[in-house]
Amino acid sequence: MPPKDSQDITSHPKGSRMKRLHLVSACISALFVVACGSNPSKPEDHTPKVPAGSTIAVVDFRDCTIPDQDDCNGSGDKVTDIFMDQFTTATVFHASKLPRPVGVKAELGDDAAVAYAKDKGFAYVMNGEVTDYFQASRGTGWWRKERAAVAVRVLEVATGKILYVHTDSDTANNASGTPNGMFKSMASNVQDDIENQ
Q: What is the pLDDT of residues 66-101, one digit of tens each?
A: 999 999 999 999 999 999 999 999 999 999 999 999
Q: What is the pLDDT of residue 43?
A: 58
Q: Which of 167, 169, 162 is nearest to 49 (CA)?
A: 162
Give me the phi and psi of 151, to 5 degrees please: -135, 130
For 9-33, the pLDDT digits (tens) are 444 445 555 555 554 455 444 444 3
Instruction: List alpha helices for the chain, DSSP H.
Output: 4-10, 14-36, 75-87, 110-119, 180-195
**In a 10 Å sphere around its CB, with 0-12 CB exposed, 13-18 middle and 19+ buried, how is residue 87 labelled?**
buried
> Does the pLDDT value for residue 7 go beyond 80?
no
For 158-170, the pLDDT digits (tens) are 999 999 999 999 9
Contact 133, 64 (CB under 8 A): yes
Q: Average pLDDT over the chain, rounded to whole?
A: 83
Contact 154, 166 (CB under 8 A): no
- Pick the residue with more confidence: 132 or 174? 132
Is pTM beyond 0.85? Reply is no
- Pick the residue with more confidence: 44 or 107? 107
- Pick the residue with more confidence: 144 or 57? 57
Q: What is the pLDDT of residue 41?
A: 57
Dist. CA 154–CA 19, nearest whole Å: 59
Q: What is the pLDDT of residue 46?
A: 75
Contact 119, 130 (CB under 8 A): no
Q: At 177, is the secondary structure helix, strand, or coil? A: coil
Q: Report the pLDDT averaged over residues 36-64.
A: 81
Q: Which of 102, 56, 37 is nearest to 76 (CA)?
A: 102
Contact 179, 187 (CB under 8 A): no
Give me the phi and psi of 79, to 5 degrees please: -70, -35
Q: Report the pLDDT averaged over residues 98-125.
A: 98
Which residues contact residue 2 at a Cβ distance below 8 angstroms, ignoring those fewer than 6 apart? none
